[in-house]
Chain A
Amino acid sequence: MKVAYFPGCSMHGTSREYGESLHAVAEPLGVELDEVRDWNCCGASSAHASSRMLAVALPARSLALAEAQGHEQLLAPCAACYNRLAGARHEIAEDAELAGHVKRILARPFENRVAVLNAVEVLRDLGETIKAKATSPLKGLKVACYYGCLLVRPAAVTRFDDPEDPSSMEAVVKACGAEPVAWRMRLECCGGGFSLSRKPSVVRLGRAILEDARKAGADAIAVACPMCHSNLDFRQKAMARDGEDKPPMPIVFITQVVGLALGIAPEKLGMQRHFVSTKRVTSRGNGEATAPAAEVG
């Protein structure tokens, strides 16, 4: 399958490892990523907080570019990019007047033909391929799948999974040979863009997520959103309660989990780029001993 690829700001910046691991797994899974040439910011947070037209027109421009490149599907691995692109596509499809305005602003051909996909959806549909190619199935690894708020909502826009009781990340984790745990914070808010402006809120929300995952016996939390990742990974030290002595919780991207199962070297997946050591996870892949290695870093 060949898709347009929309990296957004995070794949080149804060979540380089998400982009690296996505590229690393794409090839063996037979997904060809064709980056949208001259793509622009999806407008997440700032644009839709200030202007509806800007919030729709910004993603529409990238969709139009993907269309011009001859694509019918576009992969946006970042949950926020995905949400903005799919949301704009939906709004334009539903509102003819808005569509007219947007076309005028874009000043380029735009038929709103390109379907927007996220990484979880694509990996779920490749479940059988993953299973077949998993040379190092992650046996015994317990993963808490964390969807956050954007990946499956709003229901009318995302459509690929049940917005209140999703199952696609769990399906991917299972295809990797790992074991998804049953936990309850998988759709809760991580604090999103308030990481800098309201740090205490982010710490409080993130702590609840970490504690519940730990309680459910998870070895790691899998995410598919750079924002969730940075909040849970970067702020984890602050989230620990005073005097608490629990092993830190590795926060990994779902693509990294798949990569490990496919036997790809951890460095190629950017496993070394996290704040919290991912040793607990990497030690499962590559045929290493299943016992958790000593915590490093």
Chain B
Amino acid sequence: MARIGVFVCHCGENIGRTVDCHAVAEALGQVPGVAHAVDYKYMCSDPGQQLIKAAIAEKQLTGVVVAACSPHMHEKTFRRAASSAGLNPFTCEMANVREHCSWIHEDRASATAKAIDLSRMMVEKVKRNVPLSTIRIPVTRRALVIGGGIAGIQAALDIADGGAEVVLVEKAPSIGGHMSQLSETFPTLDCSQCILTPRMVEVYQHPRIRLMSWSEVESVEGYIGNFKVTIRKKARGVDEDKCNGCGACTRACPNKRIPSEFDCGLGKRPAIYVPFPQAVPNLPVVDRARCTLLIARSKGKKDACMKCVEACQRGAIDFEQKDRFVTEEVGAIVVATGYQLYEIGRDQGGRKDLHGYGEYGYGTIPDVIDGMQFERLASASGPTAGRILRPSDGREPRTIVFLQCVGSRDPAKGIEYCSKICCMYVAKHAMLYRHKENGGRAVVFYMDIRAAGKGYDEFTRRAIEEEGAEYVRGRVSRMYRDGDVIKVVGFDTLGGEPFGVDADMVVLATAMRPQPGIESLAQKLSVSYDRHGFINEAHPKLRPVETNTAGVFVAGACQAPRDIPDSVSMASATASKVLGLFSNEMLEREPTVARVDAAICAGCFHCERVCPYGAVTHMEVKDRQGNVLKVVADVNPGVCQGCGTCVATCPSKSVELQGFTDEQVWAQIQAFLG
């Protein structure tokens, strides 16, 4: 016979204001099977927990119902308390009379009646609870980091320094990401490459980091502690073991007129190239779409050019190379795929709701560039060796206009969020330009200045007050070329009048968007993403680097627009999460998973088709001689998330969710109706 204890919490005034908690306890005391019912101001407090523990001992309770907040908040607290008093923790449950009742109702009488119903229903469920034990699963102490920008680099280094092995996958030929393209960094104006490249080298030399550049994640199977990841190593056209990075091939390549991705189209590169001098690994890659020889071969013609092959002393060039697939077993995954910039006035990669700013003439006026292009112009390693020159004629611009919020914060253009970094880097651009071009005019059009961060507001103030940047609050409606200048037509909203500038160059601070292909990667990892493609964190405040899939973590600008300090902090946070996970011998997880009754399962595998987590496998049922009698479904408890979709689908009712059996749910419904 069940002996259930019911503990009604006032949660201070949170519940007590709308629900008569004492009346609830009294009513529950009358329910058959309830051996004890009390109310208390804060059940989660230490005295509150003592109340529960004492009652379990004194009244020999077989189950506990705590009518309080959401189980998301305190289920663990009360289960631990019950467990320490000798009960199986899974015989303790919560009735949510706060979020589901007191917070959403006003009338005290009906809220109290509802709280009684909710508690009664839970009592009926707990009467039918059976003791369950946590599931224990092994952990592979090896992490996969996807993305070799500053976030991925930091995460990989921190995890590897913590003693675990890391596989770092980067889709570009080199690690370094966008940070390697930047000139100086705000708010200290220290050289980006100077602070980044030591980290890149460290990654390369680290004994516990396996770097796979020019590679992409193909597929992901498994679950926390036990992922199996297939990685596509794209054909480089260069044998990684033979190449010593001497660069003879890149010098020999006659096709040197290809717009460089690293220089955002402002510089040129050959068809076999290393993206930038400090690239890690220092291995060239063949641009298969532009290599004269490969183009000729694809058309069935004879080999037109062998210059790189002839130049290579080590015979490392290998045009026959094919994409290879390698499988890695890891226990945790860090997603750090970073961002791309909004493409002004152009196709936004399948996003039909994103378009606009054709009126700014980007792509038709050569001296209208984006922020990253300005970084390359300002960078000492850039196409102009750090001189800010107009792409059209190589002249030094005397006036540069900077436009903030291009794409960002404009629902009419499809992006309502703030890209966060633009206010800062525009101030930096204005300063860098003013440092380099004596007497040059830097005009900044802004909506607001958002400079929250250590030393940030001081930095933008410095740009305005000390470095002579002219800030105009307002938007630009259009720009056009008039002879040698770009006419910028805008509005000064503080002055309340139209404001025009004749500019020699215009720099657009375009919005940050997640990398292309993020959706398909997120689907492979079963993590959710928002409508812009940013990966969703498990909780915006309390679980910022976890995702809703256990064992998958997120760092940097693939989660939201982030600057370097934010990305690095997040990366270190993921590393501490990963190392924390790896500190366990075995992982424990809740036993609320689906179980198949092999005796009645007919093997239709509807459950397999509907399972969103791929947790259903096939199991052979054999007789003693080892003959296969039938094949039935089996649920991998490591993968199952307990969603119950299979339970609802099973035509023979042979699959059940532990802790949420049909019998229990039915009893709840009956209690409510009865």
Decide yes or no whether A27 CB sits under 8 A from chain B: no
Decide yes or no whether A95 CB sits under 8 A from chain B: no
Q: Which residue of chain A has the shortest Cβ distance to B356 in the bound complex?
A: A162
Indicate if the CB atoms of B480 and A164 lie closer than 8 Å. Answer: no
A181 and B20 CA atoms in complex are apart in Å by: 76
> Which of A155, A156, A164 lies in contact with B359, CB distance below 8 A?
A164
Residues of A within 8 A of B345 (CB): 165
Decide yes or no whether A184 CB sits under 8 A from chain B: yes
Indicate if the CB atoms of A162 and B480 lie closer than 8 Å. Answer: no
Residues of A within 8 A of B618 (CB): none
> Which of A155, A156, A165 lies in contact with B358, CB distance below 8 A?
A165
A162 and B410 CA atoms in complex are apart in Å by: 14
Indicate if the CB atoms of A162 and B358 lie closer than 8 Å. Answer: yes
Decide yes or no whether B478 CB sits under 8 A from chain A: yes
> Which of B357, B412, B478 lies in contact with A184, CB distance below 8 A?
B478
Indicate if the CB atoms of B357 and A165 lie closer than 8 Å. Answer: yes
Q: Is the interface of A mostly helix, strand, loop or mixed?
A: loop
Indicate if the CB atoms of B359 and A165 lie closer than 8 Å. Answer: yes
A155 and B477 CA atoms in complex are apart in Å by: 14
CB distance from B475 to the nearest CB of A (A): 11
Complex interface residues of chain A between 162 and 178 (CB less than 8 A to chain B): 162-165
Complex interface residues of chain A between 122 and 148 (CB less than 8 A to chain B): none
Residues of B within 8 A of A165 (CB): 345, 356-359
Complex interface residues of chain A between 157 and 196 (CB less than 8 A to chain B): 162-165, 184, 187
Q: Is the interface of B mostly helix, strand, loop or mixed?
A: mixed
Q: Which residue of chain B has the shortest Cβ distance to A154 in the bound complex?
A: B412
Q: Which residue of chain A has the shortest Cβ distance to B489 in the bound complex?
A: A184
Residues of B within 8 A of A164 (CB): 356-359, 477-478
A118 and B477 CA atoms in complex are apart in Å by: 24
Q: Which residue of chain B has the shortest Cβ distance to A182 in the bound complex?
A: B364
CB distance from B500 to the nearest CB of A (A): 13
Decide yes or no whether B355 CB sits under 8 A from chain A: yes
> Which of A155, A163, A184 lies in contact with B480, CB distance below 8 A?
A184
Residues of B within 8 A of A187 (CB): 478
Contact with A along B11-30 (1 / 0, CB 8 A): 00000000000000000000
Residues of B within 8 A of A156 (CB): 412
Residues of B within 8 A of A184 (CB): 478, 480
Residues of A within 8 A of B356 (CB): 162, 164-165
A184 and B359 CA atoms in complex are apart in Å by: 9
CB distance from B485 to the nearest CB of A (A): 13
Q: Which residue of chain A has the shortest Cβ distance to B477 in the bound complex?
A: A164
CB distance from A159 to the nearest CB of B (A): 11
A240 and B358 CA atoms in complex are apart in Å by: 31
A187 and B478 CA atoms in complex are apart in Å by: 10
Residues of A within 8 A of B478 (CB): 164, 184, 187
Residues of B within 8 A of A162 (CB): 355-356, 358
A156 and B345 CA atoms in complex are apart in Å by: 19
Complex interface residues of chain B between 333 and 379 (CB less than 8 A to chain A): 345, 355-359
Q: Which residues of A contact B (CB under 8 A)?
A: 155-156, 162-165, 184, 187
Please provide the 7 A-B residue pairs with the shortest distance between their CB atoms, ordered closest to farther. Answer: A165-B358, A184-B480, A164-B359, A165-B359, A155-B412, A162-B356, A162-B358
User: Please, could you name 20 A-B residue pairs with CB atoms under 8 Å apart, sorted by A?
Assistant: A155-B412, A156-B412, A162-B355, A162-B356, A162-B358, A163-B412, A164-B356, A164-B357, A164-B358, A164-B359, A164-B477, A164-B478, A165-B345, A165-B356, A165-B357, A165-B358, A165-B359, A184-B478, A184-B480, A187-B478
Q: Which residues of B contact A (CB under 8 A)?
A: 345, 355-359, 412, 477-478, 480
